Chains A and B, each alone.
Chain A
Amino acid sequence: MAMIHNRSRHRLTAYSLILPFVAIFALVFGYPVIEVIRMSFTDAPLIGEGEWVGWDNYKRLFSDRLFYTSVINNGYFVLLTVVPTTVIALMISLAVNRLSGRMQALALVFFFTPYVLPVSVVTQIWAWMLDFQFGILQPVLEFFTGKPVPVFKNPFWVMPAVALVTIWWTNGFNVLLFIAGLRNIPEELYEAAKLDGATRRQLFFRVTWPLLWPVTALVLTLQLILQLKIFDQVYLLSEGGPFNSSYVLLLMVYREAFQLNNGGYAAAVSLVLFLLIVVISVLQFQLLRVGGKDK
């Protein structure tokens, strides 16, 4: 009897401990999600109720050319950022890891500082640096292209420029993750490999890379989720232009909901984006895990 009594008390304690979290989570996440799903089947404005319209919003969405432009731009942005930022972070962390104590801390501070800045400051800095008339980076562009380029007003340059800003801004965090991963690899493994006759190249590809793979998979997945949600930088630097060449899904949500007052339609777009992120990131993580196991 005592056992049973104890167990039910045990369960009661457990429920009472998780209840506050579940309640708050239901209020600020569960409820809005259900509301968004419901809203996406109505023609509601941003505030107030609307008529039930069934699948109309989705039908409209899949025949909306701007939606496809946005999906493609999102994909292009992911290509421009996820793998490059991971590779760059890995290379920086390998370099920083070779520095000794104090210098390493200093280098980490340098690489991490941009991450601390708010997005508006970051975009302002780069808007100045790449300013068509006064930007100090214009001579560099001029050197390669022969003439100054208004990067945020040029359909070819705008996405790579936003990607560059994003990588500069967020790379420090990935460097930290990689540094933590590198520090977890015991020095003795390298010593043993050196005695076994490993070259620098072999040390990296046979020891560092396989042992760092879990961290790499994590960074890739986090980056994918983060970069699919691109909004602030585009909104602040190019507002989706020129000619919608930097129009992305979240920008579309924002326009439809807050500027065109189409709450229902915006809800449908954001749900599609949500499903896209879930499917792609789960898929990617699974793929990376399988890839890691083969090594």
Chain B
Amino acid sequence: MSGVKLTNVRKSFGGHDVIRDVSLEVPKGDFGVFVGPSGCGKSTLLRMIAGLEETSGGKIEIGGRNVTAVEPAQRGVAMVFQSYALYPHLSVAENMGFSLRLSRAPRAEREEKVREAARILQLTDHLDKKPSALSGGQRQRVAIGRAIVREPDVFLFDEPLSNLDAELRVQMRLELTRLHRQIGATMIYVTHDQVEAMTLADDIFVLKGGHVMQSGRPLSLYDDPDNRFVAGFIGSPAMNFVDAVVSDSDDSGFTARAEEGELRVALQGPKPGAGTQLVLGVRPEHLEPLETGGLPVKVEVAEELGGNSYVHSRSASGKDIVFERRGNRESLEGRDLQLSAPADKVFAFTPEGERLR
């Protein structure tokens, strides 16, 4: 088993660049997730690793072997498609054993491997059925089983859960994590759902417009985003952003005026001078209603989830500001509040979206 390494990989379709200079590495045995909005190139990048799309430039290595120009079947990868791509005319067992059938592996070996994969995925009772007789979740498992039987170095998943309903998605997410622990192979997973990315990944690669915006452990991306895009994309509900002007700075950070209120921002690096235009970002769970100071808002609605609630409020300029409350049952609807956050939980970005540290 081996890791996947991309070096300066590019892809263009008829003069239009889809992937621009991507370099990244998914270490051996890790679970890497490509996440980003639709059209960011994440699926294309996965298909390039699989060999289903040609690479316009750069190098793709799997287990230290340069596979940029190698046929898909010789790359040691298996892929699970969003649509499952099961052969409708073959039974579950035949679908899973298809690759061994093609390579004319002995029948006994084929049956043994299919049985083992079916056991892992709890499909033993369905081996003789046709895919059309299975539920969505079962089809998904067959598709994964087909990948397992091939014993690949790298598993590739292209939005495998997006055709399932919400409950099943959560369940399959857990099963995938368990499967990864059990098999220990390198896995690369593409999704547009940042919750899936956060829960599954060892390493997240946030893509936008064919670039890797930031990569790292899920929590480090959450706690320490490099730019406004990653800050807004990772986390649900999303981070609140307000335009601000620096009013005063000192050794530990600066104070900025925003939305007819004031926020204190901790900053280690060079401090912006007074009058600098910035964008401040605060996650919902870090905002707290105070008596004085902070941003003045008017509460509109609250989403009560039982343990916690997300309160939607409107700022002076009409922006939707969301903050989280825990264990507090008292209704805030229609009230005017002041919201503030600890200085080290407020992120500052340039108007172009770069983070100030």
By a beta-carbon cutoff of 8 Å, the part of chain A in contact with chain B is: 186, 188-189, 191-199, 202, 206-207, 210-211, 295
Contacts and interface: CB of A to CB of B under 8 A. Distances in A.
Contacts of A194: 52, 71-73
Given A191-B52, A191-B81, A206-B102, A197 B73 contact: yes
B51 to A, nearest CB: 8
A210 B89 CA distance: 7
A189 B101 CA distance: 16
10 contacts: A189-B85, A191-B52, A192-B146, A193-B102, A196-B102, A197-B102, A206-B101, A206-B102, A207-B87, A211-B88
A212 to B, nearest CB: 10
B45 to A, nearest CB: 15
B89 A211 contact: yes
Contacts of B101: 206
Nearest to A295: B89
Nearest to B74: A197
Nearest to B83: A188
Given A188-B85, A192-B146, A196-B98, 5 more contacts: A191-B79, A194-B52, A195-B51, A206-B101, A210-B87
Contact of A196 (B52, B83, B89, B150): B150
A195 B72 contact: yes
A202 B89 contact: no
Contacts of B99: 196-197
A192 B73 contact: no
Interface string B40-65: 00000000001110000000000000
Contacts of B79: 191-192, 195
A198 B102 contact: yes
Contact of B103 (A192, A197, A206): A197
A295 B88 CA distance: 11
Given A194-B52, A195-B77, A202 B72 contact: no
B6 interface: no
A189 B72 contact: no
Interface residues of B, number: 22
B337 interface: no
B92 interface: no
Given A186-B83, A186-B85, A195 B102 contact: no
A202 B104 CA distance: 12
Main secondary structure of the interface of A (DSSP, over half): helix
B26 interface: no
B50 to A, nearest CB: 6
B282 interface: no
A192 B81 contact: yes
A257 B52 CA distance: 64
A209 to B, nearest CB: 10
B246 interface: no
Contacts of B102: 193, 196-199, 202, 206
Nearest to B71: A194
Interface string B251-287: 0000000000000000000000000000000000000
A194 B103 CA distance: 12
A207 to B, nearest CB: 7
A199 B73 CA distance: 10
Contact of A193 (B78, B89, B98): B98
A42 to B, nearest CB: 53
A177 B150 CA distance: 36
Contacts of B146: 192, 196
A193 B83 CA distance: 14
What are the nearest 9 A-B pairs in CB distance? A197-B73, A196-B99, A188-B85, A192-B85, A210-B89, A195-B72, A194-B72, A188-B81, A191-B52
B128 to A, nearest CB: 15
Interface in B132-169: 146, 150
A210 B130 CA distance: 14
A206 to B, nearest CB: 7
Interface string B224-268: 000000000000000000000000000000000000000000000
B62 to A, nearest CB: 13
Interface in B13-63: 50-52
A202 B99 CA distance: 11
A188 B81 CA distance: 8
B160 to A, nearest CB: 12
Nearest to A293: B89
Nearest to A189: B85
Contacts of A186: 83, 85
A193 B50 CA distance: 12
A196 B51 CA distance: 12
A216 to B, nearest CB: 13
B239 to A, nearest CB: 36
A191 B103 CA distance: 16
A295 B87 CA distance: 12
A192 to B, nearest CB: 4
A195 B89 contact: no
A194 B150 CA distance: 13
B16 to A, nearest CB: 17
B302 to A, nearest CB: 44
A16 B101 CA distance: 57
A125 B89 CA distance: 44
Contacts of B52: 191, 194-195
Contacts of A192: 79, 81, 85, 146
A19 B87 CA distance: 44
A210 B83 CA distance: 20
Contacts of B51: 195
Among A195, A202, A207, residue most surrounded by chain B Cβ atoms (within 10 Å): A195
